[in-house]
Amino acid sequence: MTVGRFAPSPSGRIHLGNMLCCLLAWLSARQKEGRVVLRIEDLDTARCPRRYAEQMEEDLRWLGLRWDEGPEVGGPGGPYYQSLRNDLYQAALERLQDRGLVYPCFCTRAELHASSAPHREDGQVIYAGTCRALSSAQAAEKARKTGRSPALRLRVPEEEISFTDGHMGFYQENLARECGDFLLRRSDGMFAYQLAVVVDDAAMGVTEVVRGADLLSSTPRQLLLYHLLGLKPPAFYHFPLLLAADGHRLSKRNADAGLESLRGHCTAEEILGKLAYLAGFNPSAEPRDAESLLQDFSWEKVPGEDICIPPTLFS
């Protein structure tokens, strides 16, 4: 059975891009007569207080995008808040450590983002392996001098990792050259997204991941972790991003694209109908509920390029 998921990060009120992600994930799973899991990605509890998560859950219910497993509903894969799942991440980390695949990194954020450091096109730093060859004694000395705990990085192989995305097609990366050894746990003890999402999707039986194209480049890292941990990866579907009328990416700071503003003058059906129209599978911007969109949804209709929201569409 297909098991899809919503996995929002509750750092503020959801915006149109988040809503499109949840709609596509819901439709893609439901069209295959599958189930939907809701997981709250609140690893950073300072930025993601529980009240934001509870508001997000209420917003999704208001939109009519209900889940089969998750907060309130329950299920075998809980708990459904990442902040309560650290023991699972620690166990996975220790499995990788036991194989000698993890090492401590003492590089500061300033050092990583120095102008001389190599960067990807998307702005991410390509880690140069500065701490990769530290001996145990050298690591202990750095810990003593800096007075802080190190981050932990995964040693990545010099090889191509590829997959075929269900919407975007073939994609590959050589992680050693295009990413470098990536974080598994930050110096403050917070587990990294790449590790947490792999552990959670596998533990919750997720077979299909739908998310924005900005996370396409994360997939080879996650596929490597699936392989190293002996876990079966899901199918991936990445979709184009919604952009504001001026071409900028939406964020929770875009008040006019947030549900707090939209609920004041739009019904749930109006929002879903317009999102489906932008995504190519509603013939017009007429109001639609999620169930009625099942008959028209297909990945073939969804554009491959980012989508600008017309300035008056949701006004």
Residues with a known catalytic role: 252
DSSP state, 136? H
Query: How far is it, in rounded angstroms, from Cα 25 to Cα 154?
Result: 30
Task: Tell me the angle at which helices 50-63 and 16-31 cross, rounded to the nearest 10 degrees.
Answer: 60
Q: Which residues sit opposite 38 in a β-bridge?
A: 6
Task: Tell me the angle at which helices 219-228 and 193-203 cross, rounded to the nearest 10 degrees.
Answer: 60
Name residues whose C-beta falls within 8 Å of residue 105's C-beta, 6 or more positions apart in sequence: 127, 130, 131, 150, 151, 152, 153, 181, 183
Burial 143-161 (b: 16+ CB within 10 A, else e): eeeeeeebbbbbebeeeeb
Q: Is the dihedral of CA 258, 197, 63, 29 positive or negative?
A: positive
Query: How far is it, in rounded angstroms, from Cα 137 to Cα 82?
Result: 34
Query: How far is it, in rounded angstroms, from Cα 244 to Cα 278?
Result: 12
